Amino acid sequence: MSHSPDTVPPRPFAPRADPAALSELRTRLRATRWPDAPEEAGWSLGTDLDYLRELVAYWADGFDWPAREAELGRLPRFRARVGGLGIHFVHARAAAPASAALPLVLCHGWPDSFWRYTKVVPLLTDPGAHGADPADAFDVIVPDMPGFGYSDRPTGPPLDSPAVAGLWAELMSLLGYPRFGTAGGDMGSHVSRYLALDHPDRVVAVHRTDGGLPVFTGDPAELTPEERAWFAEARRWGASEGAYGAMHRTKPQTAAFGLTDSPAGLAAWIVEKLRSWSDCGGDIERVYTKDEILTGVMLYWLTGTIGSSMRMYHANAALDPARLTRRVEVPSGFSLFGGDVVRPPRAWLARTTNLVYFTEPEHGGHFAPFEQPERYAEELRSFFRPFRGR
């Protein structure tokens, strides 16, 4: 496998936040200028004022980022130059013999990073230590997309999902994996899809937790009643919940000023999505601790990547519809968790992919690898089992 001239081999990566940056953050948090809110508004108009005040107070005076940073540092993390960009990634090798492990690249979405998969890495690399079959071990690779987390922010036009898929194919070559599986959710679902579309000779199978928002250029009469109902549901969801996406697709830079300057504003933008997209019954801390929430937010704050992450929506909005409607012929599996948003019917997945696996776990939402790590890991073990050794 040859590498491009813009590729530099990986080196271990263990970031440590500057104490001065943490001190400045606490100063900003304590100086937050709070908006008003109607009485009893709760979460109905967006992030709840009382909850965010409580979270920010803990962030300023109780949250221990160095401890969280040390926890993240237990994962084997690296940086490499791929396609001219510095890419941060987890590369955790299987506990089983290398010859038996399936390489697996896990693709995150927004508003997250490699954070999405931190709980499942040990479950996938060492299943025997967690009550599962050791033969189901994976070599796990979890990259931060460009403009997210500790990966470089593109200085030119933002990258779209096919471009990121191309980078991940190059990264897997750099790591010595000619064949591999891929899995993802949210924008990571799109990246995994394009890995399968553009590199079918290398991707043995692709697993996704969603089908994305529907794009169809054929005759609507061809759609099943279930598919038409799903299209209508997606339109309703977009009208009631999709304002963030419209902002990201059209004017992301405008929102980036406030979100990059205000840690409370950044937390509000992210926390509202964690709550509304997760299977938490309206109580965000039924699924996430404050430490877990703030760890995800800190990975945006310290790296200054909220603006660059939103710009990827703008890039994807410019994709030709012909690319969005290509059928995936690589064997595809879907685990549609019951608490996720805009869940497609099986008929749509069979129309758009070579569907070989379909489950609907009852519990878990949009961030299933973090919400339900054991079940998510079992879904991946079950789906990829027939494709090992191919």
Which CATH fold would you assign to the domain 50-387? Rossmann fold (3.40.50)
User: In a 3-state reduction of DSSP, which class is residue 208?
Assistant: strand
**What's at 105, amino acid-wise?**
V
Tens of pLDDT along the chain (390 residues) come to 445 657 778 999 999 999 999 999 999 999 999 999 999 999 999 999 999 999 999 999 999 999 999 999 999 999 999 999 999 999 999 997 766 899 999 999 999 999 999 999 999 999 999 999 999 999 999 999 999 999 999 999 999 999 999 999 999 999 999 999 999 999 999 999 999 999 999 999 999 999 998 899 888 899 999 999 999 999 999 999 999 999 999 999 999 999 999 999 999 999 999 999 999 999 999 999 999 999 999 999 999 999 999 999 999 999 998 899 999 999 999 999 999 999 999 999 999 999 999 999 999 999 999 999 999 999 999 999 999 977
User: In this predicted structure, what is the pLDDT of residue 7?
Assistant: 72
- C-alpha to C-alpha distance for 56 and 135, rounded to whole angstroms: 44
- Residue (of 182, 226, 233) closest to 206 by Cα position: 182
Residue 143's beta-bridge partner residues? 89
User: In this predicted structure, what is the pLDDT of residue 128?
Assistant: 94
Going 255 to 256 to 260 to 266, the CA torsion angle's sign is positive
User: In this predicted structure, what is the pLDDT of residue 217?
Assistant: 87
User: In a 3-state reduction of DSSP, which class is residue 17?
Assistant: coil
Do residues 353 and 327 make contact, with C-beta atoms less than 8 angstroms apart? Answer: yes
What one-character DSSP code corresponds to residue 160? -
String of DSSP letters for 209-225: S---S----S-GGGS-H
Domain range list for the chain? 50-387
User: In this predicted structure, what is the pLDDT of residue 270?
Assistant: 98
Which stretch of DSSP H or E encloses residue 60?
A: helix 49-61
Convert 80-145 into a string of H (helix), E (strand) and C (coil). EEECCEEEEEEEECCCCCHHHCEEEEEECCCCCCHHHHCCCHHHHHCHHHHCCCHHHCEEEEEECC
Convert 320-373 into a string of H (helix), E (strand) and C (coil). CHHHHCCCEEEEEEEECCCCCCCCCCHHHHHHHEEEEEEECCCCCCCCHHHHCH
Task: State the Cα torsion 175-178-329-233 to the nearest 10°.
Answer: -10
Can you state the percent helix, strand and coil of the chain, rounding each to 5?
50, 15, 35
User: In a 3-state reduction of DSSP, which class is residue 303?
Assistant: coil
**What's at 132, amino acid-wise?**
A
CA distances from 98 to 23, 135, 177, 225, 284 (A): 44, 11, 11, 47, 39
Edge-to-edge, what's the strand order for the sheet holding 138-143? 8-12, 77-82, 85-92, 138-143, 102-107, 180-184, 203-208, 328-335, 353-359
User: In this predicted structure, what is the pLDDT of residue 98?
Assistant: 61
- C-alpha to C-alpha distance for 240 and 236, rounded to whole angstroms: 6
pTM of the model: 0.96
User: In this predicted structure, what is the pLDDT of residue 100?
Assistant: 81
User: In this predicted structure, what is the pLDDT of residue 5?
Assistant: 59
